Amino acid sequence: MLPIGDVNPRRHFPVATAVIIALNLIVFFYELTLPEDSLQSFVLRAGVVPYQVTNHFGLPAAASLFTSMFLHGGWVHIIGNMLYLWIFGDNIEDYLGTVGYVLFYFLAGLAAALAHIASDPSSVVPTIGASGAIAGVLGAYLVLFPRARVRTLIFIFRFIRFAELPALVVLGFWFILQLFSGLASIGAASGGGVAWFAHIGGFAAGLLAGLILKRQPKSKVPEERYP
Protein backbone atom coordinates (compact mmCIF):
# COMPACT_ATOMS: atom_id res chain seq x y z
CA MET A 1 0.00 0.00 0.00
CA LEU A 2 1.77 3.11 -1.28
CA PRO A 3 0.29 6.62 -0.90
CA ILE A 4 0.77 8.72 -4.01
CA GLY A 5 -1.34 11.78 -3.11
CA ASP A 6 -4.24 13.00 -1.03
CA VAL A 7 -7.50 14.86 -1.54
CA ASN A 8 -7.06 17.48 1.15
CA PRO A 9 -7.05 21.14 0.06
CA ARG A 10 -4.56 23.55 1.59
CA ARG A 11 -4.67 27.32 1.90
CA HIS A 12 -0.98 28.13 1.38
CA PHE A 13 2.01 26.71 -0.44
CA PRO A 14 3.98 24.56 2.06
CA VAL A 15 7.19 26.60 2.15
CA ALA A 16 8.74 24.81 5.14
CA THR A 17 7.93 21.37 3.76
CA ALA A 18 9.51 22.30 0.42
CA VAL A 19 12.64 23.67 2.13
CA ILE A 20 13.02 20.57 4.29
CA ILE A 21 12.72 18.36 1.20
CA ALA A 22 15.25 20.51 -0.65
CA LEU A 23 17.75 20.30 2.22
CA ASN A 24 17.38 16.53 2.38
CA LEU A 25 18.02 16.27 -1.36
CA ILE A 26 21.05 18.56 -1.17
CA VAL A 27 22.60 16.48 1.61
CA PHE A 28 21.80 13.25 -0.23
CA PHE A 29 23.45 14.44 -3.44
CA TYR A 30 26.45 15.51 -1.34
CA GLU A 31 26.59 11.97 0.05
CA LEU A 32 26.69 10.63 -3.50
CA THR A 33 29.86 12.64 -4.21
CA LEU A 34 31.79 11.12 -1.30
CA PRO A 35 34.15 8.17 -1.64
CA GLU A 36 33.14 5.12 0.41
CA ASP A 37 35.51 5.75 3.32
CA SER A 38 34.58 9.44 3.54
CA LEU A 39 30.88 8.57 3.36
CA GLN A 40 31.21 6.11 6.24
CA SER A 41 33.01 8.73 8.31
CA PHE A 42 30.35 11.34 7.49
CA VAL A 43 27.51 9.00 8.46
CA LEU A 44 29.28 8.06 11.69
CA ARG A 45 29.65 11.74 12.64
CA ALA A 46 26.22 12.97 11.56
CA GLY A 47 24.14 9.87 12.34
CA VAL A 48 22.73 9.00 15.75
CA VAL A 49 24.85 6.38 17.51
CA PRO A 50 22.92 5.25 20.63
CA TYR A 51 26.06 4.25 22.52
CA GLN A 52 27.58 7.70 22.02
CA VAL A 53 24.40 9.42 23.24
CA THR A 54 24.04 7.25 26.33
CA ASN A 55 27.71 7.00 27.28
CA HIS A 56 29.54 10.01 25.83
CA PHE A 57 26.86 12.67 25.57
CA GLY A 58 28.14 16.05 24.52
CA LEU A 59 27.71 18.60 21.75
CA PRO A 60 28.54 16.20 18.87
CA ALA A 61 26.09 13.56 20.15
CA ALA A 62 23.41 16.19 20.79
CA ALA A 63 23.87 17.67 17.31
CA SER A 64 23.59 14.22 15.73
CA LEU A 65 20.01 13.94 17.03
CA PHE A 66 19.13 16.59 14.44
CA THR A 67 21.76 16.22 11.69
CA SER A 68 20.79 12.56 11.31
CA MET A 69 17.38 13.66 10.01
CA PHE A 70 18.97 14.94 6.78
CA LEU A 71 20.98 11.84 5.80
CA HIS A 72 19.64 8.89 3.81
CA GLY A 73 20.94 5.47 2.89
CA GLY A 74 19.90 5.24 -0.74
CA TRP A 75 17.46 6.26 -3.46
CA VAL A 76 14.56 4.18 -2.16
CA HIS A 77 15.09 5.57 1.35
CA ILE A 78 15.02 9.22 0.36
CA ILE A 79 12.34 8.97 -2.36
CA GLY A 80 9.98 7.14 0.00
CA ASN A 81 10.55 9.60 2.82
CA MET A 82 10.19 12.70 0.69
CA LEU A 83 7.06 11.34 -0.99
CA TYR A 84 5.36 10.82 2.37
CA LEU A 85 6.51 14.23 3.60
CA TRP A 86 5.17 16.01 0.51
CA ILE A 87 1.81 14.22 0.61
CA PHE A 88 1.09 14.68 4.32
CA GLY A 89 3.33 17.53 5.43
CA ASP A 90 1.58 20.33 3.55
CA ASN A 91 -1.68 20.03 5.48
CA ILE A 92 0.08 19.84 8.84
CA GLU A 93 2.08 22.94 7.91
CA ASP A 94 -1.16 24.63 6.85
CA TYR A 95 -2.69 23.77 10.22
CA LEU A 96 0.26 24.77 12.42
CA GLY A 97 1.74 27.63 10.42
CA THR A 98 5.32 27.60 9.15
CA VAL A 99 7.11 28.25 12.46
CA GLY A 100 4.92 25.90 14.46
CA TYR A 101 5.33 23.20 11.83
CA VAL A 102 9.13 23.42 11.80
CA LEU A 103 9.21 23.22 15.59
CA PHE A 104 6.82 20.25 15.54
CA TYR A 105 8.84 18.47 12.84
CA PHE A 106 12.10 18.61 14.75
CA LEU A 107 10.51 17.72 18.08
CA ALA A 108 8.91 14.68 16.45
CA GLY A 109 12.29 13.74 15.01
CA LEU A 110 13.86 14.13 18.44
CA ALA A 111 11.19 11.93 20.03
CA ALA A 112 11.82 9.34 17.32
CA ALA A 113 15.58 9.36 17.92
CA LEU A 114 15.12 8.99 21.68
CA ALA A 115 12.71 6.08 21.18
CA HIS A 116 15.27 4.36 18.97
CA ILE A 117 18.03 4.95 21.52
CA ALA A 118 15.85 3.59 24.32
CA SER A 119 15.19 0.43 22.30
CA ASP A 120 18.92 -0.37 21.98
CA PRO A 121 21.09 2.02 24.02
CA SER A 122 24.30 0.03 23.51
CA SER A 123 24.13 0.00 19.70
CA VAL A 124 27.15 1.42 17.90
CA VAL A 125 25.38 1.45 14.52
CA PRO A 126 24.62 4.99 13.27
CA THR A 127 20.98 5.68 12.44
CA ILE A 128 20.06 8.13 9.70
CA GLY A 129 16.96 9.35 7.91
CA ALA A 130 13.97 11.64 8.21
CA SER A 131 11.59 8.72 8.79
CA GLY A 132 11.08 9.43 12.51
CA ALA A 133 10.18 13.08 12.01
CA ILE A 134 7.93 12.18 9.08
CA ALA A 135 6.26 9.52 11.23
CA GLY A 136 5.34 12.37 13.57
CA VAL A 137 3.71 14.17 10.64
CA LEU A 138 1.76 11.01 9.82
CA GLY A 139 0.58 10.63 13.41
CA ALA A 140 -0.69 14.20 13.54
CA TYR A 141 -2.36 13.84 10.13
CA LEU A 142 -4.21 10.71 11.25
CA VAL A 143 -5.72 12.57 14.22
CA LEU A 144 -6.44 15.88 12.49
CA PHE A 145 -7.63 14.58 9.11
CA PRO A 146 -8.77 10.96 9.60
CA ARG A 147 -11.40 11.18 6.84
CA ALA A 148 -9.19 12.83 4.21
CA ARG A 149 -8.97 10.65 1.11
CA VAL A 150 -5.53 9.29 0.26
CA ARG A 151 -4.78 8.16 -3.28
CA THR A 152 -3.12 4.81 -2.83
CA LEU A 153 -1.39 2.23 -5.00
CA ILE A 154 -2.26 -1.23 -3.68
CA PHE A 155 -0.05 -4.27 -4.36
CA ILE A 156 -1.40 -7.76 -3.69
CA PHE A 157 0.96 -10.26 -5.30
CA ARG A 158 0.57 -9.50 -9.05
CA PHE A 159 -2.63 -7.55 -8.51
CA ILE A 160 -2.13 -3.77 -8.68
CA ARG A 161 -4.85 -1.16 -8.44
CA PHE A 162 -5.42 2.47 -7.49
CA ALA A 163 -7.85 3.38 -4.72
CA GLU A 164 -8.83 6.35 -2.58
CA LEU A 165 -8.87 5.32 1.07
CA PRO A 166 -9.44 7.28 4.29
CA ALA A 167 -6.26 8.47 5.98
CA LEU A 168 -7.34 6.51 9.05
CA VAL A 169 -7.03 3.27 7.06
CA VAL A 170 -3.81 4.10 5.20
CA LEU A 171 -1.90 5.55 8.15
CA GLY A 172 -3.41 3.09 10.62
CA PHE A 173 -2.15 0.22 8.45
CA TRP A 174 1.26 1.91 8.20
CA PHE A 175 1.54 2.20 11.97
CA ILE A 176 0.42 -1.39 12.62
CA LEU A 177 3.13 -2.56 10.21
CA GLN A 178 5.76 -0.52 12.08
CA LEU A 179 4.53 -1.78 15.45
CA PHE A 180 4.61 -5.46 14.52
CA SER A 181 7.98 -5.07 12.79
CA GLY A 182 9.37 -3.30 15.86
CA LEU A 183 8.13 -5.99 18.21
CA ALA A 184 9.54 -8.69 15.94
CA SER A 185 12.95 -6.99 15.98
CA ILE A 186 13.26 -7.17 19.78
CA GLY A 187 16.08 -9.49 20.67
CA ALA A 188 17.35 -9.68 17.10
CA ALA A 189 21.06 -9.37 16.50
CA SER A 190 22.26 -5.78 16.39
CA GLY A 191 23.10 -4.51 12.94
CA GLY A 192 21.93 -2.34 10.09
CA GLY A 193 18.32 -2.13 9.03
CA VAL A 194 15.17 -0.16 9.71
CA ALA A 195 14.90 1.77 12.98
CA TRP A 196 11.35 0.59 13.68
CA PHE A 197 11.17 2.15 17.14
CA ALA A 198 12.11 5.53 15.70
CA HIS A 199 9.03 5.26 13.48
CA ILE A 200 6.89 4.16 16.43
CA GLY A 201 8.19 6.92 18.70
CA GLY A 202 7.78 9.63 16.08
CA PHE A 203 4.26 8.48 15.21
CA ALA A 204 3.27 8.39 18.89
CA ALA A 205 4.60 11.92 19.36
CA GLY A 206 2.58 13.07 16.35
CA LEU A 207 -0.56 11.37 17.66
CA LEU A 208 -0.16 13.10 21.01
CA ALA A 209 0.43 16.48 19.39
CA GLY A 210 -2.58 15.97 17.14
CA LEU A 211 -4.82 15.08 20.08
CA ILE A 212 -3.68 18.19 21.98
CA LEU A 213 -4.24 20.40 18.94
CA LYS A 214 -7.65 18.94 18.27
CA ARG A 215 -8.77 19.84 21.78
CA GLN A 216 -8.09 23.50 21.16
CA PRO A 217 -11.34 25.53 21.11
CA LYS A 218 -10.79 26.92 17.63
CA SER A 219 -9.38 24.92 14.71
CA LYS A 220 -7.26 26.74 12.17
CA VAL A 221 -8.71 24.63 9.35
CA PRO A 222 -12.50 24.40 8.91
CA GLU A 223 -13.58 20.79 9.50
CA GLU A 224 -15.97 20.81 6.54
CA ARG A 225 -13.11 21.27 4.09
CA TYR A 226 -11.95 17.74 4.80
CA PRO A 227 -14.77 15.30 4.04
Q: Is 7 part of any domain?
A: no
Decide if 96 is inside a domain: yes
Domain that holds residue 87: 13-147+170-225
Which pLDDT value is given to residue 193?
A: 61
- What gap in Å lies between CA 130 and CA 144, rounded to an integer? 21
Kindly state whether residue 161 falls inside one of the protein's structural domains: no
Residue 160 domain-assigned? no
Within a domain: residue 31?
Answer: yes
The pLDDT of residue 1: 81
pLDDT in tens, the chain (227 residues): 889 999 999 899 999 999 999 999 999 999 999 999 999 999 999 999 999 999 989 999 999 999 999 999 899 999 999 999 999 999 999 999 999 999 999 999 999 999 999 988 988 999 999 999 999 999 999 999 999 999 998 887 777 888 899 999 999 999 998 888 877 777 655 555 678 889 999 999 999 999 998 887 655 544 445 44
Please report whether residue 71 resides in a domain. yes
Q: Tell me, yes or no, whether 189 lies in a domain.
A: yes
Domain count, the chain: 1
Q: How confident is the model at residue 222, as a pLDDT? A: 46
- The confidence score (pLDDT) of residue 188 equals 59
Assign residue 214 the CATH number of its domain: 1.20.1540.10
The 3-class SS string of 167-200 reads: HHHHHHHHHHHHHHHHHHHCCCCCCCCCCHHHHH
Q: Is 215 exposed, middle or buried (0-12, 13-18, 19+ CB in 10 A)?
A: exposed
pLDDT given at position 224: 41
- pTM reported for the whole predicted model: 0.90
Q: What pLDDT does residue 18 have?
A: 97
Domain membership flag for residue 129: yes
User: In this structure, are residues 27 and 43 in contact, taking their beta carbons and an 8 Å threshold?
Assistant: no
Alpha carbon of residue 160 to chain centroid: 26
Residue by residue, DSSP assigns 67-108 as: HGGG--SSHHHHHHHHHHHHHHHHHHHHHH-HHHHHHHHHHH
Instruction: Give the pLDDT of residue 156.
Output: 76
